[in-house]
Amino acid sequence: MSDESQPQVDNEASDDLLSRRGFIKVVAAGVGACYAGAIGYPVYQYLASPVEQAAMAAAVNEVTLPQAASLPKNTALMFRFGSKPSILIHHDDDTWSAMSAVCTHLGCTAGYVPEKKVIFCPCHGGTYDARTGANISGPPPKPLAPYKVEITDGKVIVTRA
């Protein structure tokens, strides 16, 4: 019997094939992990419970707004205090106020209306006092949560009241 009847296995080629397969598996696993992270993290953030979001918001006690000191009078700046949309208002008499912009009715984001000098929620027409955040009219049951405002070295520093 001769060796020519048996198929020849090239061990070197077989090892090379295995290492290519191993490399492709590692690359495929890495690409899969990247896709999982790219899709999973935004989904996780979207699904984060209100308790976790409240904890994130509670962790912040101060926000510095470096360019806000140059805000013209009778204008407002929207900013985030932790995860909460918030509003800073520079009044005509050069005083400042800041508060949460989360409407106390159903949680829409309210904004400053300079013509009327009030904070207005577009969802159901709730209005708030621009200096104190007190609920004036419409369905909001409570005032907006106020913050303290301090101007230091040309920066506006907003802290929890």
Nearer to ligand FES, 25 or 124 (CB): 124
Is there binding between residue 133 and ligand FES (CB under 6 A)? no
Type of residue numbered 25:
K
Region binding ligand FES by CB under 6 A among candidate stretches 17-25, 31-39, 132-140, 143-151: 132-140
Q: Cα angle at 154 between 148 and 160, to 5 degrees?
A: 15
Window 80-109: contact mask with ligand FES (x via CB under 6 A): -----------------------x-xx-x-
The strand pair at 84-90 and 127-129 is best described as: unpaired
Q: How far is CA 84 from the centre of its chain?
A: 8
What is the full DSSP assignment across 92-126? TTS-EEEEE-B-TTT-PBPEEETTTTEEE-TTT--
Region binding ligand FES by CB under 6 A among candidate stretches 8-16, 23-31, 58-66, 122-130: 122-130
Smallest separation (angstroms) from ligand FES to the CB of 38: 33
Binding residues vs ligand FES (CB under 6 A): 103, 105-106, 108, 121, 123-124, 126, 138-140
